[in-house]
Amino acid sequence: MTRPGEEPFIAAVKPLVDAIGGEMLPPDEAGQDDVVLAWEGTDVVAVRLPQLADSLDHILAAMERRRGKPLADLDRRAKQEVVRTLEARGAFSVRHGVETVASALGVSRFTVYNYLNREKDS
C-alpha cells in the first residue's frame, strides 16, 4: 500500500524519467545501478537509467515528436539547430553518436561534422 503523498511524488518525477528514457519500478526490484527515490524517508520508486546509446535514440524520437515530423524532413537550418542541441546534451560523446544523428537527419557524417565545425567557427 502506498502512503499519502507517494502518488503525487511518482506523478511529479514521471515526466523527468520519461524524458531521459528511464524506467520506473518498485524499489524492492532495484538493481545495483538503479536510482532509488525516497519520499519522507521511505523508498517510493526506483529509476532504471537507460544505456547512453538508448538515450540518444530516445532524445531523437522526442525531438521528432516535438517538431511533428521526421528530422530528415527538416530544412538545413533546423538540422543545424538539432545538431547544436544534441551537442549541448553530449550526444556526440556516445559511441557512434555522429552516425546515429546523421542517419536520423538523413545526412552524411561529413555533413554533421560540418555543422559541428561551423558552430565552433562562429
Q: Which residues 6+ apart lie within 8 Å of 27 measured at CB? A: 36, 43, 44, 45, 46
Tell me, yes or no, if the pTM score tops 0.85: no
Q: What is the pLDDT of residues 26-79, one digit of tens each?
A: 999 999 999 999 988 999 999 998 876 678 888 898 899 999 999 999 999 999
**How far is it, in rounded angstroms, from Cα 77 to Cα 116?**
13
For 26-75, where are the alpha helices, taking DSSP H only?
Answer: 52-67
Is the model's pLDDT at 6 over the cut of 70? Answer: no
Q: What is the pLDDT of residues 13-25, one digit of tens each?
A: 999 888 788 899 9
Mean per-residue pLDDT, 110-117: 94
